[in-house]
Amino acid sequence: MKLAGAVCLVTGASAGIGRATVDALAARGARVVALARDGERLAGVGERQVVCDLASPNGVADEVGPVDVLVNNAGFGWAGPVAETPDLERLVAVNLVAPMALARAFLPAMVAAGRGQVVNVASIAGYVGPRGEAVYAATKGGLIAFSESLRYELRGTGVGVTLVAPGVIATEFFDRRGSPYARAWPRPIPPARVAEAIADAIEHDRDEVFVPRWMSGVARLRGAAPGLFRALAARFG
């Protein structure tokens, strides 16, 4: 769908991928509603700002009104043993329950209008389940399955569903997850690359996007040869 003039809601819009996505959509003529829980950091982002903690997303659709595009980007992570995971319920609520609740709230108007796009920002972690990120990976894996099923449900309505799976992105995510990113490879890439991929996917109605693209090979290997993938993961981490 064309972004020029489209009303787009972007969650997690105060920083990282969300902030870059607001800029990318606005640059293509979209009218962007920016949502985040930090009002100070959200100031001046997008055409309109909505302060909300998505651990409790009730009422967002009433406050925002109908949108043409919903970008479910908000989320956070945790790296460490499951037994030591803090705020497990909040992690699931923000990363998985909130995108489903927002889709449920905004989709009826999209379907009635015969046009719209839901964009769910997952992670390569949801495809491969990296060690030390069990809960985070589970939330993103759930979002992947939700996107696939929802796409079938909406077929023929004029409303599309795009699943975006970023790899390692240079944002504050790793500062907040309890463990810094310490790998030499793959190297983190700028959030603007993900934002441009999101904008392109909306305008070209793409079902699934990996950023960077080669990450799709990792996901395909995990699906096609899980035994080989596990052996490689055990050896190389």
Give me the sheet containing 208-211, strands edge to edge: 48-51, 31-36, 7-11, 69-72, 116-121, 159-166, 208-211
Q: Which fold has domain 7-236?
A: Rossmann fold (3.40.50)
| Active site members | 136
Two tokens at 33? 């509603």
Confidence band, pLDDT 50/70/90 cuts, at residue 173: low
Task: Return the DSSP state at 114.
Answer: T
Give the model confidence (pLDDT) of 186-237 as tens digits.
Answer: 788 899 999 999 999 999 999 999 999 999 999 999 999 999 889 888 877 6
Average pLDDT of the chain, as a whole number: 93
Q: State the Cα–Cα distance between residues 99 and 103, nearest whole angstrom.
A: 6
Q: How far apart are CA 212 and CA 137, in angstroms?
A: 18
Q: What is residue 233's predicted lDDT score, i.e. its pLDDT?
A: 84
Q: What is the pLDDT of residue 156?
A: 97
pTM of the predicted protein model: 0.93
Confidence of residue 31 (pLDDT cuts 50, 70, 90): very high
Question: Rounded CA gap, 84 and 78, in Å?
Answer: 10
Q: By the 8 A CB rule, do 80 and 19 touch?
A: no
